[in-house]
Amino acid sequence: MKLERPRPLRPRQLLAPQTPGDGPSRAGADGAGRSQAAGAERGRFDEWVQAIKARLGAETSFDIIVRNIQVAGRDGAFIHLDGFMLATPAMRVLQALMQAEPSALEGDPRRQLEQKLVSYFEVKWVQKPEEAADEVLVGQAALVVAGVDQILLIDLRRYPARSVDEPPIERVTRGSREGFVETGLLNVNMVRRRLRDPHLRVEALKVGIRSKTDVFLLYVEDLAPKDLVDEIRRRLVSIRADALPMGSKNLEEYLSGSRFNPFPRVRYTERPDVTASHLLEGYVAVIVDTAPSAMILPANVWQFTQHAEEYVQTPVVGTYLRWVRFFAIVMSVVLVPLWVALVSQMPHLPPWLGWMGPRKPSVFPVWLQLLLLTLGLDIIRMALIHTPEALSTSIGLVGAVLLGQFAVQTGLFVNETILYSALAAIGSFTTPALEFALALRLFQYPLIALAAWQGLWGLAAGLTLMLYGMALTRSFFLPYLWPLAPFDGKALSRLLMRYPIPAVRTSKPPSPSTKETKEASPGPS
């Protein structure tokens, strides 16, 4: 009888006895696990899409587009705003996603999406659907894919924008014809085109709890005082406003903290070349999306009297134009109240000034005529703003010629009051900054009243109070009358004279100390 050698047991048989149902049960467990994971991924996908749709109000708002697609055999959603999308790049991205093979997302799906499937250069990941919804409102597209633990944002936005034109209130006879538009990124590009400095910094911030307005902070890192940049950034970040519906004008009130001071503490410009020039001098620029202008910080009284026309002419002609503008601005403030002060003291004036008084009597006193004429010019200015362009010339002729002529013929006014009021109005129109011209015009009313009450002494007191108010005004720690007070002879000479460009060296505005920073900060209001 032949004995058979026993077969050796396998390691698995030694560890655990094999049962008839062992293999199939393990396969079922693995399949159940994969099915459970797929269900969890599908649930997260549905939850995120519903959260984004609910936050955006997709069921009510017609311009919220939710495009359901298949990405490599997985469920996906492409969410964006209608009208804010670049059509051709968006079609290419969708085509690449929908034609992807199921194996395209194997391994690391985030890496595969970002580096292989989405053929666009401006992308980023966010983890929360709320963040994705906020970026969709800005104009970006959100891509949600089942099995991907984050949401991909694709910057395919295109804002409605008008063409680049010359600013209507900053025209020049020579030089650039480009002006800012309502698109903030395009404005930044126009500044970078003129200032290709690697030290130019552009910080993007969002201001407004509801509006989330894009605000860009521009400065040259090695020229702008660090304390000034830090303080402006701190005030921008600390703003707790619902929205900035009027753009940069709303932001100015939060930055400056001004409530009752009529003097502007922020200079506006619609020219990118003027913005680049100030950045090279160490100033800071703030560009607000939806506003066709840039804010220059800090600002003093002399900056509101400068114009780009002075720098497109020769230095001698530029200096002449600057002095003519200084004279016109001073005349717009002093001429009318000075004439009232002299007329009120006619019996005490020397004979060679006898021609100054009115030659004909009138119903109203001279000082009341001038107050009414100043108010009437402001009314005509407001009417011209709200009048269609085709009728603005007619309104100007009616207000300036016919009303003035009829007022003289009826005896309500005299010729001299209309003449001096017109000269003062023309002088105010030569002021490059509209905000500064309106502030000076506001001071005409008390100056006329003081001149009529106390003559030359009243006019001197009114001008002293106005200059004292300027001396107390500061724009981000920069004295309003600098470099006149405090006195800086070299900087003052550069303001009074138009120096040749090769002879001008870049200089920084005064840098605030830490103590001044804490004392002068108004904080958000």
Question: What are residue 252's phi and psi, to 5 degrees?
Answer: -60, -40
Q: For residue 110, with 0-12 CB atoms within 10 Å meaning exposed, 13-18 middle and 19 or more buried, which class applies?
A: middle
Helices 415-429 and 434-442: crossing angle in degrees, nearest 10, is: 150
DSSP state of 231: H
336 in Cβ contact with 424 (< 8 Å):
yes
* Beta-bridge partners for 152: 125, 143
Type of residue at 144: V
Which residues in 127-283 belong to E strands, given as ranges?
A: 141-145, 151-154, 200-207, 213-220, 267-269
How far is residue 363's CA from residue 374's CA, in Å, rounded to a whole number?
A: 18
What lies within 8 Å, CB to CB, of 348 at 6+ separation is: none
In this prediction, residue 162 carries a pLDDT of 85
Farthest CA pair distance, the chain: 161
**3-state secondary structure string across 54-122:** HHHCCCCCCCEEEEEEEECCEEEEEEEECCCECHHHHHHHHHHHHCCCHHHHCCCHHHHHHHHHCCCCC
Q: For residue 154, with 0-12 CB atoms within 10 Å meaning exposed, 13-18 middle and 19 or more buried, which class applies?
A: buried
How far is residue 396's CA from residue 74's CA, in Å, rounded to a whole number?
A: 68
Q: Whose structure tokens read 């969002």? A: 206
Strand 151-154 relative to strand 213-220, pairing: unpaired
Report the helix count and the strand count for the chain, using DSSP H and E. 18, 12
In this prediction, residue 95 carries a pLDDT of 93
In this prediction, residue 524 carries a pLDDT of 34
In this prediction, residue 16 carries a pLDDT of 44
- Ranges under pLDDT 70 in the chain: 1-39, 258, 390-402, 406, 505-525
Taking CA atoms, 157 is separated from 80, 82, 205, 502, in Å, by 9, 10, 18, 43
Helices 366-385 and 389-397: crossing angle in degrees, nearest 10, is: 170
- Looking from the CA of 488 toward its CB, the CA atoms found within 13 Å total 15
The CB-based long-range contact list for 401-410 (8 Å cut-off, 24+ gap) reads 403/376
In this prediction, residue 512 carries a pLDDT of 61
In this prediction, residue 481 carries a pLDDT of 93
Is 0.85 surpassed by the pTM of this model?
Answer: no
